[in-house]
Structure 1
Amino acid sequence: MDFKRSEIMDQLPKQYFAHLVKTVNELKNTGADIINLGQGNPDQPTPPHIVDSMKSAVEKYENHRYPPFRGHSYVKEAAASFYQQQFGVELDPEKEVCVLFGGKGGLVEVSQCLLNKGDTALVPDPGYPDYWSGVALAGGQMEMMPLIKENHFLPDFTEVSAESLKKGKLMFLNYPNNPTGAAANKEFFEETVKVAREHDLCVVHDFAYGSIGFDNKKPLSFLETEGAKETGIEIFTLSKTYNMAGWRIAFAVGNASVIEMLNLYQDHMYVSIFGAVQEAAATALTGSQDCVEELVQMYEERRNTLIKGLHSIGWQVEAPAGSFFAWLPCPDGMTSDETAELLLHEAYVAVAPGRGFGEHGEGYIRVALTEEKERLEEAVERIKRCLGDRGTHSGAWHHSQP
């Protein structure tokens, strides 16, 4: 017997990248050596001191029972301490911190908390597709904010219609940015706070790559901006900073009313996260941050290897300012799907087509820095063999090989 899905389920956006994952796996099963740069899945292990903390915590009897609904106080205090030390932001651990089942969960949940059917959310384009999922589940509608190279991949609020600003309840932002690798500056966040105040918008800043900035430039927290806590929240995940993607723990911080909504929503959904994971998270946040510095250095070296290699074969691309992604313009005359398909089937290099991140992602592909430098060098060589003749003969590529 097949049951009919609810209308909300039918309104969910399609998982655009499911086809890519399926195709990559099928090729792998044939024995092909795929260099997978298409997914944002950290390739390094969780630092040993965090794993050791988890091992010890697993044996504690108190962690075998239900944890407090809203998380242990110590992990919320650890998050507040982390924000104070890293960004100079003061937080009330009980009122301004919410423990989340990974950043993705919070990004989907916040739409359920703030949007009624028909309400508008302002969403970056290109952007993380799970913003769309949350809005769809809430029955809301989206107003896309184009991120274009000419504006350094920052939204131009003057281009958002007055009606959308009036109807808007929620605004998603994400810097360092996935997929473009762009960074936000102080002036942009100040303008964001101004717009949010004028239009009663709740800003949700997805800070997933908040520790990964390059060229000695530390990413800015939205909450460092005067008035930011009045106008929104920030979501910080341990997945990228500490290679804890599989552990599923993050936190939302900022506006107390939104934090209370998230906590209340989760009261009805979960009984918080396994206590041993919370202990490990507290260890990560309050312990030595040397592992984070080493991680950022590693990603910067990988970035430099990739960008230098692509420049050497004539692909004119810009280096990302942060995150672990590079946003590459497609060869002239090729769509993002065509570029991704070509690289996968002829070079055995998997990348993510920009179209999957929104209409304004067309014309780009996203490349993840989640392989060792040697594999990135090999990827460049494969791309050179794959695209070289096309660039030479058709003008499809800014070709400058000797």
Structure 2
Amino acid sequence: MTIKVSVICTSEAILAALNIPDPTRTGVVFVAHAGSVQALASVLRKEQPDVVLLDLPVADERVMEQIESALMKAPGTHMVLVSPDRSVEFLTRAMRAGVREVLPAPMSAMTVQQVVKNAQGHTSVSSRHRDRVGQVLALIPAKGGAGTTFLATNLAYALSKQGKRVAVLDLNLYFGDVAIFLSDKKVVTSVVDLARQAQRLDSALLDSSMIKVSEHLHVLAASESPEDANEVSPAGVERIIELARSQYDFVVLDVSNTLDPVAVKVLDLADTIYLTLQLSLPFVHAAKRMVAVFRVLGYLSDKLRIVVNRYEKGGDIDLADVEKATMLKIGRTIPNSHISVSASVNQGVPLLEMAPRDPVARALHDWAQELAPVPVQPNKGWLHGLMASSP
């Protein structure tokens, strides 16, 4: 795999003295420019390099703002500064601007060698991420009160019990409360925090931002401050989801039914959309409208699933009414077990852990088994055991 590295240096003499590696041997293509930070935006736009090495003799706030602005339009670029400033203040500001590395000045052949080595490591990691693709499942309610967060969190828990690595992302950005369904741990880093840093987001930062419910189940919580939700952009949430997809077997998204640009981007990225509802006229009416919007967005029927929560037979509205209204087959029903589910929610303990034999717990287990089948070991009986123990 070829890596593109662009070098911007204020000194033509330094550029001439650099030991630029042979791309036929190293797999690294260098493009050198004599210039300053003023050239950064143009280089990023025209060359779309994997890595940029920028000579920065002097840096003030205006310069750092230029770097930050340029990198916001190229979040995947590995940015390296060469600077004489080693102060904590400068390094912190560089990190906030999206810079990945700061190397000591002056730029030299050794600097180039170090950048090549780091760039190859960076892109090899990125390549591994692209090779591993987890399933992204979006759960969205037809209207509020469908029980979507309970389903999302408990399905994720069930998948994790199947031995899968599972991430739950709380994308109900204004009033999400996924975290309290699974854990009593304090939220330190939220979706908003990562979206603000999308240009420097990597697997280590994502991992450190997660609430670790268990070895296999991690949660990225919503912000505790609803007013921060406006800081999340479609591009930022796309970066979070795609990175999570590369790190986990399943990424479960709890999505608000407010179809703003961020929510639409989230649904675009999902492999499967589960529209959740209950058997009442307001839910069915809302589901019909939601499915109509999905079709306008270009989502085909094989991407959409209807999940009927708190299902009981014999009501005024039945499953056939839902299928007629939405023109979709019911994908799954979850029975009604109000007392057990309420206890699970109130204690922040997954239902499969609290009451594994409850009908809802069994339905969630079956759902997870459908998504991530685990072979059932046959019961070979007492005779097999007796024969195995015989000399």
- Name the TM tier (shorter chain): under 0.3
When normalised by structure 2's length, the TM-score is 0.26
When normalised by structure 1's length, the TM-score is 0.26
> Going by fraction, where is strand more abundant, 1 or 2?
2
Tell which structure's C-alpha radius of gyration is larger. Answer: 2
